[in-house]
Amino acid sequence: MADSNASRQRPSLGQMRSNSFLLDHQQYKPPLPISQNIDEVLGAQLDQSLTTLTNPVSPDPERVTDSGVVHSIFHHGANPLPQGTARIVATLFYKSSRPVHPNFHPDASSNVAPGQTLQAPQVPEGSAPTVDMEKIPREPPAPEPEPLDHLYGPYVSQLCLTNFLQTLEQLPTPYQRTNTSHRCLDREDQPRVVEVTFSPPPDPAYLSFADLRKHESIWRFEREWNVEVVLQNESVFRRHKRLAVFDMDSTLIQNEVIDEIAKFIGVEKQVSEITARAMNGELDFSASLKERVGLLKGVPADVFDKLKSVITISPGARELCRALKTLGYKMAVLSGGFQPLAEWLAEELGIDYAVANHLEIDTATQTLTGKLVESYPIIDAAQKRSLLTSIAAENNIPISQTLAVGDGANDLLMLHAAGLGVAWRAKSKVQLEAPTRLNGESLVDILYLLGLDNEDIVELAAANK
């Protein structure tokens, strides 16, 4: 009988064999006594791991605690950050004007009407030189990642922020601890704009800052959460600029002036096609400008006065310029358009400099000759960059304290030369090549890139009243 009881208490391997090698051996291990709660168990494991593992980074970096909420997945003990450790600021903008929703497939959703099919493949704006599928000489793009903002909220949600921090953790090579903090720039509840500071940045020997800005993981994160990420090196000059230069057409104003002039003589279609190709970098700007200007021969010289009534100043342009003026900025409009309207816009917005192209006028007939005034240089990409540096030098402003904003291929040299160059609602090729890009609804968003929050912007607006 004793042998029979023992047999029941200790079954043989043959009697209890399972499909798992691990389970076959674990059945002989006595159960652990339950004497601790889950917090005590996890705490003990963390303390033990910290005493047995050495920190791969030397010296051990400290959490960034200069602003907002501190994030750390490590032990909360002292973690001194070396003096002068570089930091990067990422400004996240939720694209509230263009919420993303999943493409419901008839086979996967009961909410689809009979006969409805999956949407045709599309190229996301800013991810290729063209969004026309027929012009892309390769296979259609891979399916878009599942949009998550429709699940977790149309704003920068906590899960969105957590996902971004996880993305940052995976980028450095070799691995190093990333310490971060964040602050909501517009509102604490359901923010649209969030600033994240992280350090140390990835080793530039493995991942340069320019490559980090265009990293595939960050691009995918943007697509998943319907946000835009602007990365900047943190420094006093990020927050304290002194010169801002702007393109005019499709930036400070929503019109293309030369297209508006073309409407007067019925050649809008020909001119606008050339303009679109030139702004996307498909044509030489100077040659295309001369070709378009040639089509304007015979237009009355007072056309610019008539155009003022149809020019639409971009949303946020007045507020942005007033805020920068209050902060003591020098400002310039550098346009591939025409001088009369550039001067008018500068007066409207309180801008200090206005430089654009000069159209030749036949004094006898008071009409445009279809030529440019040869004594003035064409305001092309190289000239815009030259004007940026010369205006900065004239006012004793370091180039690191300059801001440039534009949308066309003729703005790229200027955007790369400036301390901060922003492609604003730009053409696809420009978005790919520019240092940073924004596609918001209001130019006021640029103030967030300078470290200002909503309270600062409201105070600046009040100072102008």
Task: Please check whether residue 450 is in contact with residue 241, taking contact to mean a CB–CB distance below 8 angstroms.
Answer: yes
What CATH number belongs to 243-463? 3.40.50.1000
One-letter amino acid identity for 2? A
Regions of the chain short of the pLDDT cut 50:
7, 13-29, 49-67, 78, 102-112, 118
367 beta partners: 300, 362
Strands of 161-207, DSSP E: 179-184, 193-199
DSSP H or E run through 61 = none
Is-contact 172 160, C-beta < 8 A? no
- What is 344-368 written as a DSSP string? HHHHHHT-SEEEEE-EEEETTTTEE
DSSP labels, 365-401: TTEEEEEE-TTS----HHHHHHHHHHHHHHTT--GGG
pTM for the predicted model, two decimal places: 0.76
Pairing between β-strand 69-71 and β-strand 179-184 as defined by DSSP bridges: antiparallel
Instruction: Measure Cα distances from 464 to 198, 318, 345 in Å.
Output: 35, 11, 19
Note the pLDDT of residue 55.
Answer: 44
Neighbouring CB atoms inside 10 A of 395's CB total 13
Could you report how far apart the first and last alpha carbons of the chain are, in Å?
A: 100
φ/ψ bin of 451: left (φ > 0), alpha (ψ from -120 to 50), beta (otherwise): left
At 38 the pLDDT is 56
122 close to 193: Cβ distance less than 8 angstroms: no
Task: Spell 307-346 as b/e; 16+ CB within 10 A means b.
Answer: beeebebbebbbbbbbbbbebebbbbbbbbbbbbbbbbbb
List the alpha helices (DSSP H) in 178-316.
Answer: 209-213, 216-225, 236-239, 257-263, 268-279, 285-294, 303-307
In this structure, what are the phi and psi dihedrals at residue 269, rounded to the nearest 5 degrees?
A: -60, -50
Of the candidates 460, 165, 228, the one whose C-alpha atom is nearest the C-alpha of residue 328 is: 460
The pLDDT tens digits for 341-367 are 999 999 999 999 999 999 999 999 999
150 sits in the region (left: phi over 0; alpha: psi -120 to 50; else beta) called alpha
Catalytic residues, which ones? 247, 249
What pLDDT is stored for residue 56 in this prediction?
46
pLDDT at position 128 is 62
**Neighbour order of strands in the sheet with 243-246:** 353-357, 330-338, 243-246, 402-406, 420-424, 436-438
Strands of 134-242, DSSP E:
179-184, 193-199, 227-233
